[in-house]
Amino acid sequence: MSIKPQEVTKIFDGVEALEGIKNWKMWIFCITNAIKTCGMEKLLLDAPSAEERPLSRAIFSLIIKTIPDKILANYIDIREIHLLIAALRKRFDVQTTVTDSVNEGTLFSVRGHISQFDKTLDELKHRYAELCTHGK
CB contact at 8 A, 97 and 48 = no
pLDDT at 25 over 50: yes
pLDDT band at 136, cuts 50/70/90? very low
**pLDDT one-digit tens code per residue, 80-120:** 999 999 999 988 887 755 555 555 666 566 566 666 677 77
Q: Cα Rg for the chain, rounded, in angstroms? A: 20
pLDDT at 99: 55
Q: How far is CA 95 from CA 22, 26, 50, 81, in A?
A: 14, 15, 35, 21
pLDDT at 9 over 80: yes
pLDDT at position 126: 78
| 121 confidence band (pLDDT: 50, 70, 90) | confident
The region of weakest confidence among 44-58, 62-76, 122-136 is 122-136
Given a cut of 50, whether residue 1 has pLDDT beyond it is: no
- What's the pTM? 0.68
Average pLDDT, the chain: 84
Q: How many Å apart are CA 53 and CA 46, to the nearest integer?
A: 12
Domain ranges across the chain: 5-92, 95-134
pLDDT one-digit tens code per residue, 10-21: 999 989 999 998
